[in-house]
Structure 1
Amino acid sequence: MNELDGKLDPKGIALRREVLGDTYVDNSLDGSDEFSWPLQELVTSHCWSDLWARPGLPIATRSLVVVAMLTALNRPHELRTHLRGALNNGCSAEEIREVLLQSAGYCGFPAALDGFRVAREVFAEEGIEFPKV
């Protein structure tokens, strides 16, 4: 736990840590300064406490939705983070693959290709392997 946690919404920071992991969250908080700190507060309270903690969807489903949206928006840095979050939330590599395949039809093949590229890098880092075809 980071000493800055006490300055953030408690429900939001706990869920943020659960999904993204302590190392990622600590790095985000430690890398903040007076200029960027207000964004940490907004992300933690509005995104994590107000949205991620809502009861309407299971957390794994939320992760898959976020993977799809980040693929559509072509945000590889955040996609990498949320692919790890999806794995932390119990999503399988196969489920993630299906979301990325679905994105090809709705976001375009370049977005899906980039999504697959980032996912393969994350899977390799996490020790998830697929046999060669």
Structure 2
Amino acid sequence: MEIDSTAGSREIGRRILGELMGEDYLAQKAQARNSFNAVLQDYSEEVCFGRIWAREGLDRKQRSIVNIAMLTALNRPNQLAHHVEGALTNGCTVTEIQEILLQAAVYCGLPAAGEAFRVAEGVLRSHGHLD
């Protein structure tokens, strides 16, 4: 997918972000937008989602798997929660998410993986995937 303009990239990014995270997420993001954080939101939409997530080299499920592993390694629970939701949207199963986090435990350590399991469990429970 060739992208010609910054505005086009942001539009594509918003569409992909909405497909991954849902319209409520986009509405909350718009509500939080201000003159200070607008540049970061634009960057995220244009580069992260409009250029990288729009590429064809990996499918969305593969990108979700990579993101879950990296966010676990970086110990970024807020972003991890959003990307676990996105992973479910992209076709990851509960078992696959569990296995990603277990694999991360070996390479990232138990404290990081323990926090990631806690975050993922909350998301999975809120979406009716756990008791």
Distance in 2 of aligned mates of 1:9 and 1:49: 6
Q: What is the aligned partner in structure 1 of residue 48 from structure 2?
A: 47
Distance in 2 of aligned mates of 1:9 and 1:120: 32
The answer to whether the Cα contact below 8 Å between 1:52 and 1:59 also exists between their aligned partners in 2 is yes
What TM-score does the superposition give when structure 1 sets the normalisation length? 0.89
Task: State the shift of 1:97 in Å.
Answer: 0.5
Identity of aligned residues (%): 42
Amino acid at match of 2:15: A
1:97 alignment partner, SS class: helix
Amino acid at match of 1:31: A
Amino acid at match of 2:129: I
Q: What is the aligned partner in structure 2 of residue 21 from structure 1?
A: 22
Q: Per-residue displacement from partner, 1:91-130 (whole Å, max 9, x unpaired)?
A: 1111110100000111111111111111111111001126
Once the two structures are superposed, the pairs formed by residues 42-81 of structure 1 within 5 Å of their partners are 42-81=43-82
Aligned residues: 125
Distance in 2 of aligned mates of 1:7 and 1:31: 22
Amino acid at match of 1:111: A
The answer to whether the Cα contact below 8 Å between 1:9 and 1:49 also exists between their aligned partners in 2 is yes
Q: What is the aligned partner in structure 2 of residue 3 from structure 1?
A: none
Once the two structures are superposed, the pairs formed by residues 31-46 of structure 1 within 5 Å of their partners are 31-46=32-47
Distance in 2 of aligned mates of 1:10 and 1:109: 39
Task: State the shift of 1:40 in Å.
Answer: 0.8
Q: What is the aligned partner in structure 2 of residue 121 from structure 1?
A: 122
2:33 alignment partner, SS class: coil
Gaps of 5+ in 2: 1-6
2:130 alignment partner, SS class: coil
Task: State the shift of 1:68 in Å.
Answer: 0.6
Task: State the shift of 1:8 in Å.
Answer: 7.3
The answer to whether the Cα contact below 8 Å between 2:81 and 2:123 also exists between their aligned partners in 1 is yes
The CA RMSD over aligned residues, in Å, is 1.5
1:9 alignment partner, SS class: helix
Following TM superposition, where does structure 1 have runs of at least 4 consecutive aligned residues deviating by more than 6 angstroms?
A: none
The answer to whether the Cα contact below 8 Å between 1:72 and 1:107 also exists between their aligned partners in 2 is yes
What TM-score does the superposition give when structure 2 sets the normalisation length? 0.91
Task: State the shift of 1:7 in Å.
Answer: 9.3
